[in-house]
A and B are shown apart, each in its own frame.
Chain A
């Protein structure tokens, strides 16, 4: 544990505050992370110094804004090792990026085709596919991954010649387990399915290389990786992006318009209708830079050590059921039989500790685990060992207070 988060915390002034007269302990990072000063500065600098609409050239500020906006695309492309910046499409976030693909591929689906997802998906990577299946007569199938996330040989039978789309999360938002991504992608590719990876829970922690993953689409949100809300990324391989029908149309995405027809622009603009979220893109690029300037392996090791510390402490408590893996995760998801997670959450909150209680937008997974919801403490690079211990101490206090004699 050589890494010291204390100096890093100076970049996150929001963390130095009291919540109900207790020091704020922010452990809801899987929902959204806090933003470093460099991201806040980048956003403010945009509005203070070069706010203008992009791509319309024409004047000094617009040129400046356009340059920085497109540099942001370059930065994000480098961040996930995309081959070219035109493969980066801005979206509102992970959810919109998945919807762009679900609507964009609709014209290629026929009745009886299969869309395959896993049992560890967030609703964002489930509902758009289910609705696409309803619209096209395709069949939604679910690969029944266990909460350990191990690959089992029998899973291969879920990939068939009718599998047109395979969509899977890299890391479960609810329990923090990694899916057997490479094995699944290999199967999907053998059956010529389009592949989409939901990286929302991965990007803040793991260096991403979309070329090594070799998936058709990779999607993520800015706000879960120290960037602003309202901005996310749809990465796609050229051929995969080319076949997408734009799910929104309007300004900016066109080359020529008559009343009879419209000629769409080239990538990436073809899929970006309307004035983009300019300061979001610039803020996200600043977040990428913030991360690449860190020793990312040290950050990850630190985050994992905090989760492991909590796991080790709470695993000893007979009344606590933990659903996360013991190692290689940055969050701990747990429940206490006969005590509602909302009650636990309320007591933690009263002590200034922010965690998340509930189903984590994963109702089918909660049903698979046999719980109504879990309490999730999720770590980021700025969390300290003291905070991890405080969470454990206060959780045990809450259990005492809420246990019926």
Chain B
């Protein structure tokens, strides 16, 4: 997980996109930075309900920092997950709960990649990250 880009550089990159096509390409590029889950980790229990694409999320809560792993069957969602993970990685549960993840993600200028049918999925991911 050490190879995740810095959240601020992701934010800068996504906010600089001027069209849906540019955002698409940026998310595809980001998706390549995700460490994929193994087949064994993609259990029904780890699956986030409510996403159009399949999303798995594993949170290992420790005293100081928590490790969060995630994966999806679509590249675009993997790109979004890289942004989310870089935002919350290394934070404690209490710190995560204090963050306004929804507002932060909305500031990334992802437009319809966050809204429409994927919106519920993103909210479900945020819910799970705060637990």
Residues on A facing B (Cβ under 8 Å): 20-21, 340, 342-343, 346-347, 349-351, 372, 401-402
Contacts and interface: CB of A to CB of B under 8 A. Distances in A.
B24 A350 contact: yes
A18 to B, nearest CB: 12
Given A342-B76, A346-B24, A347-B21, 6 more contacts: A20-B21, A340-B53, A340-B73, A342-B74, A401-B25, A402-B28
Contact of A351 (B21, B25, B73): B21
A239 B74 CA distance: 51
Contacts of A347: 21, 24
B86 to A, nearest CB: 21
Contact of A342 (B21, B28, B52): B52
B19 interface: yes
Contacts of B75: 340, 343, 402
Contacts of B25: 401
Interface in B1-47: 19-21, 23-25, 28
Contacts of B73: 340, 372
Contact of A343 (B20, B21, B74): B74
Nearest to B23: A350
Nearest to B118: A342
26 contacts: A20-B19, A20-B20, A20-B21, A21-B19, A340-B53, A340-B74, A340-B75, A342-B74, A343-B28, A343-B74, A343-B76, A346-B24, A346-B76, A346-B113, A347-B21, A347-B24, A349-B20, A349-B112, A350-B19, A350-B20, A350-B21, A350-B23, A401-B24, A401-B25, A401-B28, A402-B75
A69 B112 CA distance: 40
A227 B117 CA distance: 26
A342 B25 CA distance: 14
A123 to B, nearest CB: 17
| B-side interface mostly | helix
A347 B112 CA distance: 12
B53 to A, nearest CB: 5
Contacts of B20: 20, 349-350
A128 B50 CA distance: 24
Interface-centre pick from A340, A343, A347 (highest chain B CB count, 10 A): A343
A346 B75 CA distance: 10
A342 B53 contact: yes
B115 to A, nearest CB: 13
Interface-centre pick from B21, B23, B25, B28 (highest chain A CB count, 10 A): B21
Interface in B51-83: 52-53, 73-76
Contacts of A340: 53, 73-75
Nearest to A404: B32
A350 B18 CA distance: 12
Nearest to A358: B52
Nearest to B111: A20
Contacts of A342: 52-53, 74, 76
Interface string B97-128: 00000000000000011000000000000000
A350 to B, nearest CB: 4
Contacts of B76: 342-343, 346
Contacts of B23: 350
A198 to B, nearest CB: 25
Contacts of B74: 340, 342-343
A401 B79 CA distance: 14
Q: Which 5 A-B pairs have the closest CB atoms?
A: A350-B20, A340-B74, A350-B21, A20-B20, A342-B74
Interface-centre pick from B25, B74, B112 (highest chain A CB count, 10 A): B74
A347 B75 CA distance: 11
A339 to B, nearest CB: 8
Nearest to A405: B32
